[in-house]
Structure 1
């Protein structure tokens, strides 16, 4: 590593600068959540808190029903991402190993779905969910996003890179498609599946526009919307509670990412091995 740094000092400097661009705002948010109120607005900036205080978290938690928002986000994220990954797995297996009429063109349509912005379907999805009577329900929040074109594409690419000899041997032993999927394909595809699951969880957890549209009750809202209500309740100049609320929202995803990051590169690299 040191040798590479000596050979490419400007590249290393560029990486450090890019890292600072991301880390400095993150550190400022985290430190402001624990700073005394007066130190947040002090000039020159005080980067290190003189003392750690937890009043901002208490104010944020009491200003809006963060407990209910947290439960809603956990339920929607857990159920929605689980179903999304399952559908992506079954769809990818079908595109990789099954033969059926129109397979090539259906997969082209899946790729085309990757190019359609999600906001294009907001009105249609809202009308559909409204007609089904699912406004202010968990199902109304996660149902429209269950089909993951990216997850299907990524897993299909990875499945096609698996050793065919193993699957052919399983077929000769009398294994059906479901048994081959469960006992052979999934164990060999753990990095790719974890990658798709992580992306699905982050998308569900951070989604703002759709839950805002499909819910009009405070008891049905999720955490990202809770931050908006917190800002309106505390005011735009009360950055302590707002930063504390932001930490509450992002901490679960940060911990999940740190736990699963070792699988991401392996999953993405495995998907690029074959067409």
Structure 2
């Protein structure tokens, strides 16, 4: 005789017997097992690729804490036998590192601001303003991406030289303030914004400048962040541009300054690695701050158009 209430009710016929629990079919279990194995393999592959990408950075940091004769030792010493922390103090006195960083920061911020401004404004015209020949002009402008910089490097330099702008930041700023890639990226993102918003604003009497500034730009923060990050990184790491146009040491960027440790017969590799680690930190900081917008902007830039 059952002593519990459900048992007494079941014996009295007022509560149905519980249904037997049947295990899932073998095919369902095998599919679940295969899914877990596939997920584990994908995660292991991604972890391996991440470690492979981080290897050069880890080697750079490790080399910055060594002596010059230990940087290229065989086998590779991932953990230095002696941590030479003085490298990070000596580099500021060996070269004007602060000046180089300031010059790089000025060029990167200025060129990034101008490229975001001009790229977003031109992209609005190609995406939301209808005029004859718009698509043909856009394709012709984007086609300039396929032309290598080496093809027009000499004519650009002659032009800047005739204008008296060599050995100045102005030459680099003028040459890099406009970019076809930025126009393409922003235009593709603008195509995802409904045209009805712009049409309603035009009916309300808002000008094209007002539509661009008050409606389109606030909705394009992910694309703006993506373009800003890509431009900042490219300008910060640029070597050939400053190498060609900047001859005065007080105008050098950090990439040119690191070349000071390369001598005629030898190079101070430990100092080069120390400067490289310092030069990477601003890029790492910018990426960490704009990572969310960067991924969102790249993921949605090609959804339409």
The alignment's TM-score, normalised by the length of structure 1, stands at 0.90
In the alignment, structure 1 residue 136 sits paired with structure 2 residue 167: yes
The alignment's TM-score, normalised by the length of structure 2, stands at 0.82
Give distance in 2, aligned partners of 1:89 and 1:4.
Answer: 44
Aligned length: 273
Alpha-carbon contact 1:60-1:230 (below 8 Å) kept: no
Give distance in 1, aligned partners of 2:72 and 2:177.
Answer: 43
Aligned equivalent of 1:217, options 233, 244, 248:
248
CA deviation digits over 1:181-238, x for unaligned, max 9? Answer: 11110111100010011111111111111110111111111111111122338942x3
Residue 221 and residue 4 in structure 1: after superposition, are their counterparts in 2 closer, same or farther (change >3 A)? farther
Give the number of the structure whose residues are more often helix, by fraction.
1
Paired residue for 1:193?
224
Paired residue for 1:250?
280
Paired residue for 2:88?
57
CA deviation digits over 1:46-94, x for unaligned, max 9? Answer: 4234665431122322222212211211111111111111110110001
What's the C-alpha RMSD, in Å, of the aligned pairs? Answer: 2.4
Alpha-carbon contact 1:88-1:151 (below 8 Å) kept: yes
Aligned equivalent of 1:260, options 252, 275, 290:
290
Paired residue for 1:239?
269
Unaligned runs of 5+ in 1: none
Q: How far is the alpha carbon of 1:141 from its aligned partner?
A: 1.8
Residue 64 and residue 198 in structure 1: after superposition, are their counterparts in 2 closer, same or farther (change >3 A)? same
| SS of residue in 2 equivalent to 1:205 | helix
Larger radius of gyration: 2
Aligned equivalent of 1:116, options 143, 147, 155:
147
Give distance in 1, aligned partners of 2:106 and 2:265.
Answer: 27
